[in-house]
Structure 1
Amino acid sequence: MGAIEASDYEMQSVFAETPTLACSDEKACREGAWEVMPFKNPVRSMHAVMLRTGKVLLIAGSGNDPSLFQAGSFTSALYDPSSRTFRLIATPEDMFCAGHVQLADGLILIMSGTKSYPAADGSVTYAGLRGSYTFDPTSESYIRVNDLNEGHWYPSATILGNGDVISLGGLGEDSNGSVVTERFSRAQHRWLPVNQVNQSWQFFGLYPSMILMQDGRLFYTGSHVFGDGLPGTGASVYDYEANKITDVPGLQDKNHRDQSMSVLLPPAQDQKVLTVGGGNILTNVDANRLTDIVDLKRKSPKYEKGPPLPHGVVDKGHGMVPEEGAEGKMYVSLVILPDGKVLEAGGALHNRADPVSEVSLFDPSINKFEPGMATDPIPRGYHSAAMLLPDARVMMVGDNPGNGSFDDHISIYSPPYLFKGSRPKITSVINDQWEYGSTQEITVDRGIVKAELIRPGAVTHSSDPNQRLIDLPLTVTASRIGVNVTSNSNMAPPGWYMLFVVDAEGIPSVARWVRLDANANKLQVPPATYRASAGNLAGDTLVPWEGRKSVRVNSEVSGCDYHYGTAGTCVPITFPSGVSASGPDRCEWLRMHGYKSLKSNSRRLDPLGLDANHDGLACGPEDRSRGG
């Protein structure tokens, strides 16, 4: 076989014989298949992070349970997919609703979390912690780093090409919107003082999806959590170095992209972003089917309308019925697969309610969804997460509807490619420490058409902005393959990646782990003693923050009326259309969605008319029969 050369940004096929396909299951060959694990998740995991060890860090913190918060009971667990075992991890603070990202050395940086839950009378919403930690996959423990400059409940977390991390948005310690840009320095292994960080004093909302572009700027996709989009077009390019924000036009219905999801489409070299679905928990309209695609290589990027999400079936409390018209979903999960497609799964029609059963594959090469994939038997709405495993399957966890329950099942999806025949195998990786612009040698057991790096997932609230697949152009001689690594660290930020090879039928190998970095063979992970004592853990003494003003955030930002029940229960401030404004009708909707009788937290205030007899019990027997 002759050698094949390819440029940094162009993929070339390597033609070789492939074993005859033997479909092991005809239905699964078309749709894939789900398996619900016969054991339970031991924690109420709101966050899921793939580690370079192949284990999954499941973070609950207080797990949206105010009784656990009050008790100071915070939890995490490590799940090992290969042995199907768990290990509980001591968790020092409430990391519920934190941000997280893999650092260049494979540590997981975790920022903020929950300082306080909403007040019982609804006057104050959540507040963010300043605390920050790394999680070490080797010692399997949390290590404290210095504090953020202020709290950021629901922050973004994006790694840059030099290994630094930018974090934006979220709610501060005063429950208002933070306008402070935070920067974690790789060189110093600490959060920088605010006066050493470029400040735009812009509030980017909650969990704003910020994707690193090939030129080092950040693209805010418009995907966010809770309520309306940002002023302007709802999407923008943020140039940190120039301290400049430029609107990106074209995003459809920007005020109904709450808990949509965005992904940098594979391969990352194409620089195209897909944004899918969304709703609005404040108005509680039906979630939509909208999709939008933007080409970030254009001089003036603009979103273009994409194909509509496939319809699914939805349970509105009366059993599953087909979706109609513009009905789509929020709480969407998007997972990049090794064959270059994107799995789209999970979701619900309304605020923490009405799960949608529908799974499809998006093919970026033709900009189309392939509908009709097998569906997860478990509903996956609010606080669900999905990620790629090193064996090319997909893991899904979580569902936390408004009634306060949490689903503790783990589901595993095997895509169609796993039923189409034997898999190629990476038989050796000569060196697992890769440098930018290098050619690395691997061997395989048979012909392949492509090799790629996929960054491991770090998911929460339909947000995983660091997710990406980087094509590796090939130089091939017999069974030895040279994979050509991009020279652009913005294309593939430093860190550990899953290396896959794929054959001509789209069947992937099991991944091998490699670390990509500048001078990768010379860099050493800082010793734990250095990490633990980095700087003043309580924060730095700062000069006055000139121009700093937090943004006032409504106490109903989460879409829940906390006059009823606990902070872990969400009675919607607005009910879906079709539910009348009468107390009995609202109580019936709540009953059909699994709510029990709720404590009324104020005898004087009953804004939804759920406690007609003012006995302190909302939706009690008398309330369900009275007008109101």
Structure 2
Amino acid sequence: MAARSARLTRRKTWLGATAVVALAALNAPAMSGFAQHAYHRWRIDQPEYRARYGHWSLAGLPEKYRLNSIHAILLHTGKVLLIAGSGNDVEQFDGGVFKSTLWDPAADTFKKIDTPADLFCGGHAQLPDGKVLIAGGTARYEKLKGDVKRAGGAMLVKNEDPDRARTFPEGTVFRSPAGVEYRSQFAVRVPAARKAGRGDRVRVTASEARVFVEAADEGPLGITNTTEQYAIDGLKGADARNLYGIANKLGLDKKDFQGIKDAYEFDPVTEKYTKVASMREARWYPTLTTLSDGRVLAVSGLDDIGQIVPGKNELYDPSTKTWSKAPTRYFPTYPSLFMTGRGKVFYSGSNAGYGPANKGRKPGLWDLATNTFTTVPGLRDPDILETSSSVLLPPAQEGKVMVLGGGGVGESPASTSRTAVVDLNAKRPAFEPGPDLPQGTRYLNSVIMPDDTVFTTGGSGGYRGKHASDIHKSQIYDPAANTFTPAADPQVGRDYHTEALLLPDGRIAVFGSDPLFADKAGSRPGHFEQRVEIFSPPYLHHGKRPRLTADGDTETVRGDEIVLRTAHPADIDRVRLMRPGSATHVTDFDQRSVALDITRRTAGALTVRVPEDPALVPPGWYMTVAVDKRGVPSPAVWVHVSRYRADEGSAAERRITRITGTLTR
């Protein structure tokens, strides 16, 4: 009786929608449009449609928790950390208003998080213990040439005293030979000078540190294009002789964003930020990539004077919470880097802007141990990689990386529908063409799903969605078939400052979007998109899902087995270990899906083995998902993969690693 009633209800709804469409066609264009919309809403809500294309819905984000989501990070508690910082809003920056929100998708609850600094446009990565490293952010917003009122630029602060380092606070005055005053915009520490030799042969080499300065007075008086020495206000005698500034050019030209050196760990359990050691370089738009040993590589970004960090990379060790020098190599900002081996990183060529068109743009394999870079050829439209998407295709054992879409350098209107795939396990890796996207697309989000497919959504045809070019389309890529199939259309357009994450229940959440204009003519300024839209993939509409529980402790190590309880183990086709995402600017270097071998099936249980290779399974928390023979995944079970086996003498190995700096375990 219930089934008959449901059929009658659907029939009445269909007849009603048909009648409205017919009436609209006979009467008015406005009515016709309304009826077509009603029919569309009816159609996409049908079970058959959802089972084929999936379904979109909006999260009920209360107004007081809304923010300009620049960063979205899935935590091992199942919650999502959304970071805005100042949210690309100079008024909030000037007012010191920095925001983070914690969202629990399962309970649909929200919580404001105290945010200690402007983490807007920093970098982040998952750490072995489940905390998240966030490094860099915003020290200063850009100013266009006409808006710059005070001359400014880089001041090198020199110290010729070998016995003492000095720290100068923000606001320190540097005076030119002509008496023009400049004030430092940040505090700066200058190490002691270096002393070599003995007796009469002692040689002192001045140390130096850099700080951004601005003229005390507005106007052209502060402009200089000559190298001069600047006295530091308040110093006398030997200090005045040993400590001074050197500047080559101080002007009224455009000032780019400037980065900070600050770094923090966010603890998903306490739900608080904790400051750790600062980076050696300030970074805005940096990439943070977790390596096979659990350390994090930080590269690129705009520095404390608004220039791209010139290849000075560094490593964060979560066991000591300190930074050390990494091999030198130049990249444009937010380069897409994927850990693909012990001490080996693949650069897909994708990046999120800032940097010359002819430097650091070629894809290739970077060996950190030897600091060698091998270019990977074969990519069509190699000059249209900015704001493209890159993803490590599932399963990670295949060693394949895909590049999707992209745009020209800077504010170029160019975009491409090109996709390409490179097999990094091949003897001579080279890109091979993939299927084209439906149209030229930049800012495309790509999310790995448990059924070994990749969901792609949104983007725009133009720079930051100019000329109303947001693309309200989604598609699913199948690496095995090398084909796209269409998915349901999203309601919300997404372009710059957007990100997407796989949730533990198998849904996908999409955040942010920061269009330059709100209309096709470009006459009205755009507004930041604060709605959160959630996609339920087709596999969630294919009937009852398998269920998993972990047998005993959820702690494991590489090479060990995990026992998973499930009612029908014979129905399970595959099991995947999925690293939680950490996304910003349509980049996500943490997400990966690792195939687990099913070693035994017993009554009510599966036994699976974790791969031994740390390049496949870097230490940290993972979602374990079983997929049945229909392609339907279970909700995730969280498992923590430790760095070391209990019998390996982990303390000794860690000590050796700190001494040698090895990147090979």
- Deviation readout 1:279-307 (Å, 9 max, x if unpaired): 12535224210001000011221111111
State the partner residue of 2:331. Answer: 204
State the partner residue of 1:38. Answer: 60
Structure number with higher helix proportion: 2
Query: Scaled by the length of structure 1, what TM-score is found?
Result: 0.74
Amino acid at match of 1:284: S
Equivalent residue runs for 1:168-567 within 5 Å: 168-178=299-309, 179-192=311-324, 197-200=325-328, 202-226=329-353, 231=359, 234-280=362-408, 282-309=410-437, 311=438, 327-353=439-465, 354-371=469-486, 373-402=487-516, 403-446=525-568, 447-475=571-599, 476-519=601-644
Q: 1:134 to 1:522 in 2, by over 3 A?
A: farther
- Deviation readout 1:578-608 (Å, 9 max, x if unpaired): xxxxxxxxxxxxxxxxxxxxxxxxxxxxxxx
1:53 aligns with 2:77: yes
CA shift, 1:39, in A, is 3.0
State the partner residue of 2:258. Answer: 127
Q: 1:133 to 1:494 in 2, by over 3 A?
A: same
**SS, match of residue 577 in structure 2:** strand
Q: Percent identity?
A: 38
State the partner residue of 1:163. Answer: 294
- CA-atom RMSD in angstroms: 1.9
Q: In structure 2, how many angstroms separate the alpha carbons of the residues matched to 1:297 and 1:31?
A: 33
Mean CA deviation greater in 248-257 or 55-64: 248-257
Higher relative contact order (CA 8 A, sep 6+): 1
**SS, match of residue 26 in structure 1:** helix
Structure showing greater Rg: 2
CA shift, 1:481, in A, is 1.2
Q: In structure 1, how many angstroms separate the alpha carbons of the residues matched to 2:136 and 2:283?
A: 6
**SS, match of residue 145 in structure 2:** coil
Q: 1:182 to 1:135 in 2, by over 3 A?
A: same
- Whether the aligned pair in 1 keeps the contact of 2:123 and 2:136 (CA below 8 Å) is yes
State the partner residue of 2:149. Answer: none
State the partner residue of 1:6. Answer: none
- Whether the aligned pair in 1 keeps the contact of 2:618 and 2:643 (CA below 8 Å) is no
- Deviation readout 1:462-514 (Å, 9 max, x if unpaired): 11112100000102223221101100111111100001001000000000100
- Whether the aligned pair in 2 keeps the contact of 1:56 and 1:80 (CA below 8 Å) is yes
Q: In structure 2, how many angstroms separate the alpha carbons of the residues matched to 1:32 and 1:427?
A: 26
Q: In structure 1, how many angstroms separate the alpha carbons of the residues matched to 2:98 and 2:585?
A: 19
CA shift, 1:207, in A, is 0.3
CA shift, 1:522, in A, is 9.7
CA shift, 1:230, in A, is 5.3
**SS, match of residue 473 in structure 1:** strand
**SS, match of residue 461 in structure 2:** strand
- Deviation readout 1:410-450 (Å, 9 max, x if unpaired): 11100000001100000333320011111111111112111
Q: In structure 2, how many angstroms separate the alpha carbons of the residues matched to 1:137 and 1:522?
A: 29
- Whether the aligned pair in 2 keeps the contact of 1:219 and 1:238 (CA below 8 Å) is yes
Q: In structure 2, how many angstroms separate the alpha carbons of the residues matched to 1:366 and 1:376?
A: 24
- Whether the aligned pair in 1 keeps the contact of 2:330 and 2:360 (CA below 8 Å) is no
State the partner residue of 2:115. Answer: 91
CA shift, 1:24, in A, is 7.9
**SS, match of residue 474 in structure 1:** strand
Q: In structure 2, how many angstroms separate the alpha carbons of the residues matched to 1:307 and 1:398?
A: 27
Amino acid at match of 1:428: A
Q: In structure 1, how many angstroms separate the alpha carbons of the residues matched to 2:109 and 2:140?
A: 32
Amino acid at match of 1:342: V
- Deviation readout 1:512-545 (Å, 9 max, x if unpaired): 100012347799xx9xxxxxxxxxxxxxxxxxxx
- Whether the aligned pair in 2 keeps the contact of 1:434 and 1:521 (CA below 8 Å) is no
Amino acid at match of 2:598: L
Q: In structure 1, how many angstroms separate the alpha carbons of the residues matched to 2:477 and 2:423?
A: 16
Q: In structure 1, how many angstroms separate the alpha carbons of the residues matched to 2:266 and 2:358?
A: 32
**SS, match of residue 288 in structure 1:** coil
Q: 1:445 to 1:24 in 2, by over 3 A?
A: farther
**SS, match of residue 572 in structure 2:** coil
**SS, match of residue 59 in structure 1:** strand
**Matched positions, count:** 480
State the partner residue of 2:90. Answer: 66
Q: In structure 2, how many angstroms separate the alpha carbons of the residues matched to 1:233 and 1:60?
A: 28
State the partner residue of 1:547. Answer: none
Mean CA deviation greater in 219-228 or 493-502: 219-228
- Whether the aligned pair in 1 keeps the contact of 2:417 and 2:441 (CA below 8 Å) is yes
1:28 aligns with 2:28: no
Q: In structure 2, how many angstroms separate the alpha carbons of the residues matched to 1:93 and 1:427?
A: 39
- Whether the aligned pair in 2 keeps the contact of 1:32 and 1:374 (CA below 8 Å) is yes
**SS, match of residue 269 in structure 1:** helix
- Whether the aligned pair in 1 keeps the contact of 2:331 and 2:361 (CA below 8 Å) is no
Query: Scaled by the length of structure 2, what TM-score is found?
Result: 0.70
Q: In structure 2, how many angstroms separate the alpha carbons of the residues matched to 1:206 and 1:472?
A: 34
